[in-house]
Amino acid sequence: MDKEKARARICELTDIINGHNHNYYVLSKPVIGDYDFDMLLKELVKLETGFPDFALAESPTQRVGGDITKEFQQRQHKYPMLSLSNTYSEGELADFDIRVRKLIPDEEIEYVCELKYDGVSISLTYVDGLLDHAVTRGDGVIGDDVTANVKTIRSIPLKLKGNYPANFEIRGEIFIPLAGFERFNKIRIENGEDPFANPRNAASGSLKMQDSAEVAKRPLDCYLYYVLGENLPLDTHYDNLLKAREWGFNVPGYLAKCKTMDEVFEFILDWDKGRDSLPLEIDGVVIKVNSYRQQEE
């Protein structure tokens, strides 16, 4: 195959395979079987091996890992990753609502309720539509750069779709689904290894492994829930999450806009009853003011 045909086919295969990854890992709607997918991936690997200069930054072959990290470099967060305050009673939530309405009088307040996922917090930065770096929460100011390991998680896009900001950050939670955790622990026991105590420990330990090829073997997933940047397309948290879903991010549907505290309490009660139906463990509910302008006030 000549160089121009190889370059064109590498670009074509990269787009096709990334699309199939999105269909399978984000939308849960695969359109081809495993064998056909593997054949496409093998063709791409062969072409990239023969023409390495034509491999793209968003190539799905990065998902298999291979980088060995002796130690993780630390990186400062552009926006501090603060831990969330815990509230345990309806009275405390009502007091929170009163404080918000006093700070923003004579305006309608809209909240967004989301589930608090029990995993490992991660911050992803995208530049010109490509994943630039991934950093753990750390102490909230400085975290570990785990980009090579995060690139192995197939639900995290390496290249975005549609119209997106040139430079922005999106935060989420890396976790191991309960079903995948059970299978993973079963394999560890069969291999004579100690099982992990819980999915969160397994996800945290996986993310800090030095061999990204080993990380690629772990059943990691990621939910994204917060977009930050100076040139976001919309003025509310909820609407930007919907945009992020269009760009290719795995934004879960476990969220709701609420105009009253009664609606907030209803959301909390519904998911307290329905938590056993979820594919992962949760640690409560997160409540955010929807408007960015009102958040700043």
Instruction: Give the domain CATH number at 56.
Output: 1.10.287.610
Residue 230 to residues 124, 130, 233, 291, Cα–Cα distance (Å): 15, 17, 10, 15
**Are residue 42 and residue 188 in the same domain, yes or no?**
no
**Are residue 145 and residue 263 in the same domain, yes or no?**
yes
Q: How far apart are CA 256 and CA 246, in angstroms?
A: 18
Instruction: Give the residue among 139, 165, 10 at the shortest CA–CA distance from 82.
Output: 139
For residue 92, name the pLDDT band (cuts at 50, 70, 90): confident
Residue 69 located in a structural domain = no
- Whichever domain contains 272, its CATH number is 3.30.470.30
Q: How many helices (H) and strands (E) does the chain have?
A: 10, 9
Identify the bridge partners of residue 288 per DSSP, sorted by sequence position: 112
**Are residue 259 and residue 154 in the same domain, yes or no?**
yes
**Are residue 52 and residue 110 in the same domain, yes or no?**
no
Is 248's pLDDT higher than 90? Answer: yes
Tokens linked to 139: 């102490």
**Are residue 58 and residue 168 in the same domain, yes or no?**
no
The domain of 150 spans 85-296
**Are residue 152 and residue 215 in the same domain, yes or no?**
yes
Provide CB contacts within 8 A for 183, sequence distance 6+: 219
Tokens linked to 177: 């689904």
Residue 76 located in a structural domain = no
**Are residue 100 and residue 161 in the same domain, yes or no?**
yes
Residue 7 located in a structural domain = yes
In this prediction, residue 38 carries a pLDDT of 87
**Are residue 250 and residue 192 in the same domain, yes or no?**
yes
Q: Under a CB-based contact definition with an 8 Å cutoff, are residues 31 and 78 in contact?
A: no
For residue 247, name the pLDDT band (cuts at 50, 70, 90): very high
Per the prediction, the chain carries an average pLDDT of 91
Q: How far apart are CA 67 and CA 178, in angstroms?
A: 28
Over residues 181-191, the mean pLDDT reads 95
Q: What does 55-79 look like in DSSP terms, one character per residue? A: --TT-GGGGG---B-SSPPEEE-SS
Pairing of strands 111-117, 282-289: antiparallel
Instruction: Looking at the chain, list the stretches that DSSP marks H as alpha helix, in order from N- to C-terminal side.
Output: 3-25, 34-50, 90-103, 147-150, 178-190, 199-207, 212-215, 237-247, 261-274, 292-296
**Are residue 18 and residue 157 in the same domain, yes or no?**
no
Provide CB contacts within 8 A for 268, sequence distance 6+: 113, 285
Tokens linked to 174: 């890396």
**Are residue 131 and residue 182 in the same domain, yes or no?**
yes
Residue 268 located in a structural domain = yes
CA 190 to chain centre: 30
For residue 86, name the pLDDT band (cuts at 50, 70, 90): low
**Are residue 24 and residue 108 in the same domain, yes or no?**
no
Type of residue found at 166: A
Residue 124 located in a structural domain = yes
Is 28's pLDDT higher than 80? Answer: no
Kindly report, residue by residue over 193-224, the tens digit of the pLDDT. Answer: 999 999 999 999 999 999 999 999 999 999 99
> In the listed set 47, 62, 77, which residue is the last one of a domain according to the structure?
62
How many structural domains compose the chain?
2
At 191, is the secondary structure helix, strand, or coil? coil
At 174, is the secondary structure helix, strand, or coil? strand
| Catalytic residue, candidates 29, 116, 159, 217 | 116
Q: How far apart are CA 231 and CA 184, in angstroms?
A: 41
Q: State the pTM of this model.
A: 0.86
Residue 75 located in a structural domain = no
In this prediction, residue 33 carries a pLDDT of 86
In this prediction, residue 169 carries a pLDDT of 98
Provide CB contacts within 8 A for 98, sequence distance 6+: none
Is 288's pLDDT higher than 60? Answer: yes
217 belongs to the catalytic site: no
Residue 80 located in a structural domain = no
**Are residue 164 and residue 254 in the same domain, yes or no?**
yes
CB atoms within 10 A of CB 122: 23
Residue 72 located in a structural domain = no
Is 88's pLDDT higher than 60? Answer: no
Q: How far apart are CA 137 and CA 188, in angstroms?
A: 28
Q: Under a CB-based contact definition with an 8 Å cutoff, are residues 261 and 97 in contact?
A: yes
Phi then psi dihedrals of residue 191, to 5 deg: -90, 5
